[in-house]
Each structure stands twice: as structure tokens, then as C-alpha cells.
Structure 1
Amino acid sequence: MDYQLLFPLLVTTIVTLFGWLAGHQLNVERERRAKKQELRLSYLLEAYRALAIGLHRRTTDEKYAIAFDQALADVQLLGSKQQVSLLHNFLDSIESTQSGDLEPLLIALRNELRSLIQMEDIDLNLRWHVTSKDDNRRKK
């Protein structure tokens, strides 16, 4: 047996194996981060929509109330420290004065969501057009 050939072959095999393991581990970690970001993006997008829709509803329709409550829970679970703080400010205001301003939270969510999908920042305020059931009946 020629040990002069065996030793370089063994070293090459070991280096290749460790390189493959390191590459695999990095790939697994990258996929985990991507999945985490995708999940967070999905939940925060749904929360943004539910809060925006619920914000201007004049009814207490149970469907909207449930979606609104789920959005509050999602922001507390997956939102940034700033977003959770803005949500707490809103809830404190609701508890003490029966009214509150969700716009700062919605702007923070909008900015982060746009950042996550690599879109440019927008420094404009939010604007809404609310269509109620009464408006739809009048059009018919």
C-alpha cells in the first residue's frame, strides 16, 4: 500500500466532507431565516390589513372584531419593540379615553413591511376611503 498517495487522498476527503457539512449547515440556517422572515411578513401584512379595515368601521360586526383582535395579538407576538410600544399606547388611550390613534402603528407596520419586501420608503400619511353597506345600497 502506498501511504504517500493515501495521506493526501484522506486529507482531501476530510476537507471535502467538512466543507460540505459547513455549506449544508449554512444553507439550513439561511432557509430557516428566510422562512422566519416570510412567516413574520405574512402575519404582519394580515395584521396591517385587519387594523386598517377595522380602524374605520362604524359597525361592531363580529367578523371585523375577531380580525382586529387577532391583529392586535399578532403585532404583540411578531412586531418590533417600537410597534408593540405604539400598540400599547393605542390600547392605553382606548382604556382611558375611549378613543385612540392607530395611525402611528399603521405607519410603522407599513414602513417595516415595505422594507422587508425591499420597497422604497414612503413619508406620506395614510389616507382611507371607507365604503359602507349604506353607500353600496344607494348606488344600486
Structure 2
Amino acid sequence: MDWKLLIPTTIATLAAVIGWVVAHKLNAARDVRNKQREIRLKYLSEAYDVFIELGRNVDILGNYREVERAISYIHSYGNTKQVELCDKFVNDIALSGSANHTELVVEVRNFIRSELGLRVLSTKLNLLKVTPKEK
């Protein structure tokens, strides 16, 4: 047996196997992070849509199930600030029957934009509500 040939071959094989294992673990971790990000964005986007609709239709009773679901999505997938703003919204509703959710909507919107690599917008929220004229 030629040791001069066996040692470099063994080292190269070990390096290839270790490299493959490391690359596989890194790719698997990246895939998990991407899936988590995708799920988080999906549910926060749904919550955002519900709160936008709530802002246009002031009556919370008309879509209370969607609002409840949006609150649970923010509690499940939101960051600390989003959960705190959501709690404030819930507490205000419970105490006074009404609440301002603009800061929550802006925070969720800016988080979604940031995660998508888009420039974060201002803290303002300007929406348009069009009410068709009756004929």
C-alpha cells in the first residue's frame, strides 16, 4: 500500500464529507428560517388586511371573528412591539368599547415592508374610503 497516496486521498475525502455535512446543515437551517419568515408574513399580512378593513368600517361587530383571528395572528407571529400594541388595542376595546389601532397597523405594515426588503414608510397612515353615490 502506498501511504503517500492514501493519506492525501483520505484527507480530501474527509474534507469533502465534512463540507457536505456543514453545507447540508446550513441549507436546512436557512430553509427553516425562510419557511418561518414566509408563514409569519402570511399571517401578519392577513391581520393587516383585517385591521385596514376595520378602519374603513368602524363597526367592529360586523367582522368581529376576523378581528379576533387577526389579534391571535399578531399574538402568535408578531414581534414584541406589535404584541404590546395589540394588547393596548384589546384593552382599550374592553375598557371603553373603542380603540385607535393606527399605530398597530403602521407597525405591522412597516415590519412586512422591512421583511420584504422594501423601504420602511413613515408613521402616517392615509387610507381612502370610497362610498358610491346612490342613484
Superposition TM-score, scaled by structure 2 size: 0.90
Paired with 2:123 and 2:67, the residues of 1 have a C-alpha distance of: 24
Paired with 2:43 and 2:119, the residues of 1 have a C-alpha distance of: 21
Aligned to 1:55: 55
Paired with 1:136 and 1:70, the residues of 2 have a C-alpha distance of: 29
**CA displacement, residues 37-69 of structure 1 (integer Å, 9 cap, x when unaligned):** 1111111111101111023324533xx322211
Does structure 2 retain, via aligned residues, the 8 Å contact 1:54–1:65? Answer: no
Paired with 2:19 and 2:26, the residues of 1 have a C-alpha distance of: 11
Aligned to 1:4: 4
Aligned to 2:35: 35
Query: Where does 1:1-140 land on structure 2 (aligned, <5 Å)?
Result: 1-59=1-59, 60-61=61-62, 64-131=63-130, 135-136=131-132, 138=134
Paired with 1:124 and 1:86, the residues of 2 have a C-alpha distance of: 14
Residues 111 and 58 from structure 1, CA distance in 2 versus in 1: closer, same or farther, beyond 3 angstroms? closer
Paired with 2:124 and 2:58, the residues of 1 have a C-alpha distance of: 22
Gap runs ≥5 in structure 2: none
% identical aligned pairs: 28
- How many residues align? The count is 134
Does structure 2 retain, via aligned residues, the 8 Å contact 1:93–1:100? Answer: yes
Gap runs ≥5 in structure 1: none
Code of the residue aligned with 2:81 in structure 1: it is: Q
Code of the residue aligned with 1:9 in structure 2: it is: T
> How many angstroms does 1:120 deviate by?
1.0
**CA displacement, residues 63-95 of structure 1 (integer Å, 9 cap, x when unaligned):** x32221111100011101111101111111111
Code of the residue aligned with 1:41 in structure 2: it is: L
Paired with 2:58 and 2:90, the residues of 1 have a C-alpha distance of: 18
Superposition TM-score, scaled by structure 1 size: 0.87
Could you say what secondary structure the match of 2:70 adopts? helix
